[in-house]
Amino acid sequence: MKDTQAAHKEKNPESAEQELCRLLDKNTRYQEEGFTVCLEADAADWDRVIRRLGRKRAYRLMGERICQRYLAETGEEFLFDVRCVAFELQFHIDIYLRTAGFRGYPLHPASLAFSRASLLRHTKDVDVYPADARDLKQRLLFGYRRGVRKDYRGTGKDPFRRR
C-alpha cells in the first residue's frame, strides 16, 4: 500500500504544488516593501519540487504564490508583476542549486565571474525589494522597468516615473 501511495504522490502534480506552497510558506518572509525567500536549509526539497513540476511551471507558480501572499500579508499588490518575480526567483534559485551541486540548472554568464563560495553566499536568500530598481545592474538584469504592475505605472510607487 505504501509503495502505491508513494508512486501516486510522485505522479500527482497537485501534491507537488502543495509541496511548493509549503516550502514557500515556510521559507518566505514578507516585509512592508518586499520579501525574502531562504533557500539554504531546504535545498534538496527545492530541487525535488522544481524537478517534479518542471522549471517553467515551478517558477511561474512561485511568482503567483508570492504575489498572492504578499497581498494577503500587506494589503497591497507587490510593485512587480508575477512574471518579473518569477524571473528573479528563477535566476537566483538556478544559480544557487547549480552551485550547491544539483545538476540540470543553468548558470547565467554573469555568475561565471564569481567564486563558488561567493555565489552560494549571495544566492542562498532571494530578496526582492522595489528599492532594487534603483541599482542599474539589477534593473537591467531582472527587467524591473517592464515588471512594474500596470496599476502602479506612473504613480508615486513607480520607481521609473518621470518627475
- Between the alpha carbon of residue 51 and those of residues 3, 16, 43, 90, 98, the distances in Å are 20, 10, 12, 13, 13
Whether residue 100 is contained in a domain is answered as yes
Whether residue 159 is contained in a domain is answered as no
Rounded Cα distance, 50 and 46, in Å: 6
Rounded Cα distance, 159 and 148, in Å: 9
AA identity, residue 37: V
**Per-residue pLDDT at 53:** 96
Whether residue 160 is contained in a domain is answered as no
Length, in residues, of the chain: 163
Whether residue 161 is contained in a domain is answered as no
Rounded Cα distance, 48 and 20, in Å: 10
pTM summary value: 0.83
**Per-residue pLDDT at 5:** 47
Q: Which residues span the domain enclosing 37?
A: 6-150
- What pLDDT band is residue 11 in, cutting at 50, 70 and 90? low
Residue indicated by cell numbers 526539497: 45
Strand partners, 128: 35
Say how many domains are in the chain.
Answer: 1
DSSP state at residue 160 = T
pLDDT digits (tens, 9 = 90+) for 83-100: 999 999 999 999 999 999
Rounded Cα distance, 38 and 141, in Å: 21
Minimum mean pLDDT range among 78-92, 120-134, 140-154:
140-154
Strand partners, 80: 148
